[in-house]
Structures are given as structure tokens and as C-alpha cells.
Amino acid sequence: MVKVANVEFKDPFIISSGIIPLVSKFISNVCVKYDISGITTKTLTLSPLEPHRPPTVIKLEEGCYMNAIGLGNPGIETLREFQVKGDCNLIISIGGSGVEDIMKSAEKIEDIRRQNINLGEKVKILELNLSSPNRKGYGESTSKFTLEIVKNVSGVTSLPVFVKLGPWDNTIELAGKALEGGANGLTLINTIKGLAISKEEFKPILSYGTGGISGKCIHPLAVRIIHDVYKEYKPEIIGMGGVFTWEDAIELMAVGAKLVGLGTVIIDRGYQVINDIRLGFRNYLKEKGLKIEEVIGIGVRN
Ligand SMILES: Cc1cc2nc3c(=O)[nH]c(=O)nc-3n(C[C@H](O)[C@H](O)[C@H](O)COP(=O)(O)O)c2cc1C
């Protein structure tokens, strides 16, 4: 068991935002069949957003992808009808075009949680996506308002707030602003912006142009950013970025992650990989005679 923002998770493994389709039947199936401790929804916005045109996801190398779906989503209102089976915790990811928009989104989530009891009981954390690189005016463009956004959202939600940031030069500074504004923790890291050019047409392969790189090629970047942020503030961290094996998960926990998000690995290998990672992790702890809490931050020297 791991406790994050006073919420109990069965084990440290959750599914990151943007990986599971936003369909309650689908989420229920994954929750029950794979006994996952937590699922993060795709980032939702106040009004629906159209995804970019295909191609929106490409494979760069073995275990490395680049996507630009562009925060396409059916809007927060969709959650009103959600009925989720199983006992996994839900983390709702929201985004928007600025302080006001994101605050209104948080208010709407409060309203839906009061009205939809099934969902209300399962939602345990509100994640603010201030880091997606794939839509102008959203995601990383809103990170400059981190302090104001967190202050405002904290004032209207009763959920613990986690701020999701990217692997940038100013991530430590922004993490500080998020915590100053009242965030309960940080989710690190989102994808990092890249560009792939077609050798036939000499133009970007993704319809949006640039895309967010995810998977194995960003893993050392995730380890470094989580390490640096943990060292500076010792906050609660949901860590992610290229976790493909239980060894990768241990690495993120050793530098301070309490929960570990699985993302691209599920796209690449399927949901069964959750069981493999969990089993390897449990065996490792048993062999070493370690408890989960003893691993968190063990690799960070002050
Ligand atoms: C196809 C795809 C869609 C994603 N959509 C979102 C999203 O809607 N919101 C978000 O905060 N992150 C989104 N992400 C980022 C992931 O949640 C995660 O932070 C990132 O991919 C790094 O982890 P990974 O290397 O394990 O995939 C998306 C990633 C992928 C690959």
C-alpha cells in the first residue's frame, strides 16, 4: 500500500493520462481485469476539443513514440454519466486555456462529483495538465500561470491537487510555484516537444507539425527531473516517463516518485505488462527485504 495525499493506493502503479479511452465501460474493464490501483483520465476541458487530423501518433524507435492528439476530448460534462466498476482510484486530469478556464473546469468537476455519487467516490486526485506541448494556448502555454492557476483551483476544489509539468529548464522553479500555490504534489513528466520530417515530402510527419516524445527515449530525462525536484522540495510525486520494466519503476521511486505512471509501455506492449511490472517489483522488494516506503527517495543525496 502507498499513501499519496492521504489517499490509499493498493500499489504504486497507475495508468498515466491519455492512454485509456474515455469510456466508462473500458475504464471499468481495465480496473477490474488488471486490478490497477489508479487510472488517470485523458485531459478534459470545459468544452469539447477536436483532436488534430491523423497522423497523430508515430513510432520513432523501439519503445519511443511521438504524438500530437492535441488534447482532443469530449469535454468534462461526459463525466456526469460515468459509472466505473472495481475499486481503483480515479485521477481526473483537466486542462484549459488560462486561469479562469481551468478554475471553471475544477468547479464543474466538483458539481459532477456531488451529483454522480459513483464517480464522486472514486475520484481521489485532480491533476492539472500545465504541460502538454500539443495545442497552442493550452498545456505548456499555461505553465507561466502556475501559481495563479493552483491558487484559484485550490480555492474551489475539495480534491488534492497535483500539477503536471514537463521536462523543461524551468521545471524546478515552476514546481516551487505549484507548491507555493497550495498544490499537494507534482506529476512529472509530460512529453517533450520534438519534430520528425518525412524523407519523401520534406514536411512534418505529424499533422500538427511538432509532437510530444514519450517512451524509452525520455526515461533518463524523467529520472533527472524527478531527482532534482525531489531534492529541492521533497514533495509527493507521481513519476512517469519511459517506464517499461520494474527496474525502470524502481529507478523513478529511488529518486522520489511515490506512484509510477505507465503510459507508452501500454500502447507498445498492451495491458498485460502491468502484471509483469508489478510482479517483478514485488519480487525485488521481497528479495531485498525492503518496504515500498524505504525505496522512495533512497537514491537522492542531500
Ligand atoms: C498518446 C498519448 C496521449 C497522451 N495524452 C495526454 C493527456 O491527455 N494529458 C496528459 O497530461 N498527458 C498525456 N500524455 C502524456 C503521458 O501521460 C505521460 O506523461 C508521457 O507520455 C510520459 O510517460 P511515458 O513515457 O510512460 O508514456 C499522453 C501520452 C501519449 C503517448
Domain ranges of the chain: 2-51+70-192+215-295
Per-residue pLDDT, 182:
98
∠ CA 4-5-10, rounded to 5°: 30
∠ CA 128-190-185, rounded to 5°: 45
Task: Decide yes or no: CATH 3.20.20.70 for domain 2-51+70-192+215-295.
Answer: yes
Active site residue 132: yes
Q: What is the DSSP string of 55-77?
A: P-EEEEETTEEEE---S-B--GG
Per-residue pLDDT, 281:
98
Ligand 1 atom with the shortest distance to the CA of 187: 19
Work out the average pLDDT over 23-29.
96
d(CA 152, CA 164): 16
Number of neighbouring beta carbons within 10 Å of residue 116: 18
Within 6 A (CB) of ligand 1 lie: 16-18, 42-43, 57, 65, 67, 69, 71, 93, 129, 132, 164, 190-191, 214-215, 218, 240-243, 263-264
Q: Is pLDDT above 90 for 302?
A: no
∠ CA 141-113-178, rounded to 5°: 35
Per-residue pLDDT, 178:
98
Q: How confident is the model at residue 216 (pLDDT cuts 50, 70, 90)?
A: very high
Q: Which of 132, 143, 154, 214 is catalytic?
A: 132
pLDDT per position as a tens digit, 70-97: 999 999 999 999 999 999 999 999 999 9
Q: Is pLDDT above 80 for 279?
A: yes
